[in-house]
Structure 1
Amino acid sequence: MSGCRKGIMMAVISRQLGERIADKKRRLDSLRPLRADTLHYLHDELRVVLTYHSNAIEGNTLDLKETRLVLEEGLTVGGHTLREHTETTNHASAFDYLEQLVRGVWPLDANSILDLHRLVMAGLIPLPGALREVAVYISGVSWTPPHPSEVPGLLDRWIKWVAGESQDYHPIEWAGIAHAQFEAIHPFVDGNGRVGRLLMNMMLMQEGYPPAILLRQWRSEYIAALQLAQLAGKYRPIVNLVGRAVEQGLDLYLNAIDTAQAAFIPLPELAAEFGYDVNYLGKLARSGSIAATKRAGRWYTRRQDIVDYKARVETETRGHHRGK
């Protein structure tokens, strides 16, 4: 999906980072639409990676391999609490729901926020999916979230800003500022960080970006950046951190595409994909016109080899016509 936000990359993001993101985004867009098998792989991988890093930022001790075992194999990992396992499966379910919201182009509203919280915190707190009605204090942070009576109004204003009063911002700047403001409202008793990061990714994905992968190794920097935004109104650190996280997501997408291009695939599959007769591709393979390998009587080649062959033929055809 490509969003409608037209803001330019402002000085908030460092020039080098902004240029890298723009280059990688252009490359990704040039490769769309992505193959179904690549999209399936990306969904499964992001489901694990985002769950691991987001939960680890909040103190969950399951490592990446253990998170993968819980989500992909349904295993219980020894040495970890039931709560940590529940946090893991909950976040993955919330990510699945998030993708439904993005595909359906649903607006970001109070109901979707409460639904995400309900999924993230199911079985972990008494009232998942409900705004807080008590004061909360954050350990180690020199900042106090607003009084619970202010939360509904603040959240409503935040939704309106996200939906319509921020169109001049670049998507990454928009998502970073919105994330910091959401965390400042701190609308829930618990789960604000995980829900906030999911909402940030919903915003980015609706604008045609991959999800931002905020690494657990950045936790201290991330918390400090949020505090600077909340206490001093300085958004440059959090926006740049979100930019780096977006770059992580872009790299994941591009690496997945490169891997798919490099894989050897049976000729019949590629013939169907590219609209060639399979016997014609077999002739090309036998003559060496495309790089191919024979395994157990079947010819295999790489998707990129077919792309390169088509490009050569088109170039030669254009040259032939010009020669006439």
Structure 2
Amino acid sequence: MSHPPRMDPRLAQRLGAKRAALEARRPLPPDVLRVLHADLQVRLTFHSNAIEGNTLNLRETQLVIAHGITIGGHALKEHLEATNHAAAYTAMVALAEASPPLTLAQILELHRLVMDRMLAEAGQLRRGAVTIRGAQLVPPPAREVPALLEQWLAWLETEGLQYEPVTRMALAHHGFLAVHPFLDGNGRTARLLLNLLLLRAGYPPALLLQEWRLGYLEALAQADRGRYNPLLNLLGRAVEIGLDLYLDACAATPDEEWLPLSLLARDTPHSAAYLALLIRKGRLAGTKRAGHWHSTRAALARYQAEVAAGSVPRGRPPGS
């Protein structure tokens, strides 16, 4: 490793503080976990698929997953990507709750769910050469893939344990993508595995935003050259979004604390539409109730504090 990975100290401090705050609230109430996972199933499906080029927006993704609605102007493949990833997310959460180490069979099952009805080789390791779009790294020959995956799995339980969890997950994420074990669906499977490992380590799922796509690809390219800090910091920010979502949900357990955005907006310079945009971008915790976004005063205060501290962008669209 050319440069030992080191997270930005300010980010590392925030993650440590938020992780400790979350640990103090465990075990989380089952109803809170149900709401969180229903929300994250849609969010992670939308963002992971959008990174790969799917054009369904967040609302359309939710309609496809929850109601099986066909969205006009979108190919069948995009609908399958949504329902498949949602099913794979549910399976990932179930796997995360089990204690045995990750296995090759579990990886293959997640890939099968991700690529069901879209790839004849769903759930199978590739038997031919592949390229990584936009990357200089050349994946290894297919004949080496089984052994490399076994080495990757062993690393998680041996050498990888020398790193704190988020660093370990960042290195593992890049290592898996470098092997590129499947003909297609490597990125989505890798991001599900990232979150499976985070959940097993006691973290919430990381929310890697589709707006970060170019930065994500560049960070992976830097990791190909042995420079892991950009990837570690980017994934650290994704973990922080997940921590914020969990903490905000814990703070808003009573139903009366979830307020419609039209009411919350009265206490801010922002419109309800802009607050909804923040929720869709993963910057403000929120949940859908009766088809309308709700958030909490605690979540809004957290967002405003992070804007004031410079942790999130300050800009807002016209008319907000």
Question: TM-score higher than 0.5 here?
Answer: yes
Tell me if 1:103 matches 2:103: no
Deviation above 4 Å: which 4+ runs of structure 1? none
Higher Cα Rg, which structure: 1
Helix, strand or coil at the partner of 2:43: helix
Of the candidates 59, 84, 89, which is equivalent to residue 83 of structure 2? Answer: 89
Give 1:139 deviation, angstroms.
2.9
> What's the offset of the Cα at 1:149?
1.2
Give % identity: 47
What displacement does 1:67 show? Answer: 0.6
Asked if 1:21 is matched to 2:15, the reply is: yes
2:116 equivalent in structure 1:
122
Amino acid at match of 1:168: Q
How far is the alpha carbon of 1:264 from its aligned partner?
A: 6.3
1:75 Cα deviation after fit: 1.1
Distance 1:264 1:157, change over 3 A: closer
Render the CA deviation track for 1:174-200: whole Å, top value 9, x for unaligned.
Answer: 000000010000000000000001111
Q: How does 1:156-167 map to 2 (within 5 A)?
A: 156-167=150-161
Structure 2: which 5+ residue stretches go unaligned? 259-297, 299-320
| TM-aligned CA distance change 1:106 to 1:88, over 3 Å | farther
In 2, Cα distance between the equivalents of 1:13 and 1:187?
Answer: 28
Contact preservation (8 Å) 1:62, 1:84: yes
Q: Which residue of 2 aligns with 1:185?
A: 179
1:256-308 CA deviation, whole Å, 9 max, x = no partner?
A: 1222247269xxxxxxxxxxxxxxxxxxxxxxxxxxxxxxxxxxxxxx9xxxx
Question: In the superposition, relative to structure 1, how do residues 106 and 94 fare at CA in structure 2: closer, same or farther (>3 Å)?
Answer: farther
Contact persistence 2:5–2:232 (CA under 8 A): no
**CA contact 1:182–1:196 (8 Å) conserved in 2:** yes
Paired AA for residue 246 in structure 2: Y
State whether residues 109 and 159 of structure 1, in contact with CA within 8 Å, keep that contact through their aligned partners in structure 2. yes
* Mean CA deviation greater in 174-183 or 138-147: 138-147
Aligned residue number for residue 63 of structure 1: 57
User: Measured at CA, do residues 11 and 186 of structure 1 come closer, stay the same or move farther in structure 2, by a change above 3 Å?
Assistant: closer
Task: Return 140-149 or 167-176, whichever deviates more.
Answer: 140-149
Alpha-carbon offset, residue 122 of structure 1:
0.5
The equivalent position to 2:256 in structure 1, one of 256, 263, 266, is 263
Structure 2 residue 243 is the aligned partner of structure 1 residue 237: no
User: How far apart are the structure 2 equivalents of 1:157 and 1:118?
Assistant: 21
**Is 2:5–2:228's contact at 8 Å kept on the other side of the alignment?**
no
Shift of 1:146: 1.0
Determine the structure 1 residue equivalent to 2:31: 37
In 2, Cα distance between the equivalents of 1:138 and 1:188? Answer: 11
Q: Relative to structure 1, is the Cα distance of residues 193 and 11 closer, same or farther in structure 2, using a 3 angstrom cutoff? A: closer
Structure 1 residues 104 and 139, CA, compared in 2 at 3 Å: closer, same or farther? closer
Q: Are 2:159 and 1:155 equivalent residues in the alignment?
A: no
The 1:264/1:120 distance shift into structure 2, 3 A limit, reads: closer
Distance in 1, Cα, partners of 2:114 & 2:207: 17
Give the TM-score normalised by the residue count of structure 2: 0.77
Shift of residue 120, structure 1, vs aligned partner? 0.4
**What does residue range 201-220 of structure 1 map to in structure 2 within 5 Å?**
201-220=195-214
Tell me how large the CA RMSD over aligned residues is: 1.7
Equivalent in the alignment of 1:251: 244
Q: Report the alpha carbon displacement of residue 32 of structure 1 after superposing the two structures with TM.
A: 1.2
Q: Pick one of 129, 150, 161 that aligns with 1:135.
A: 129
* Cα distance between partner residues in 1 of 2:74 and 2:56: 7
Compute the displacement of 1:152 (Å).
1.1
Q: Give the whole-Å Cα distance in 1 for the aligned partners of 2:92 and 2:12.
A: 26
TM-score, length of structure 1 as denominator length: 0.76
Contact 1:137 1:144 in 2 (8 A): yes
Cα–Cα, structure 1 residues 112 and 47, in superposed 2: closer, same or farther, change >3 Å?
Answer: same
The whole-number CA distance in structure 2 between the counterparts of 1:110 and 1:264 is 43
Q: d(CA) in 2 for partners of 1:234 and 1:11?
A: 7
Distance in 2 between residues matched to 1:261 and 1:17, nearest whole Å: 30
In 2, distance between residues paired with 1:38 and 1:262? 11
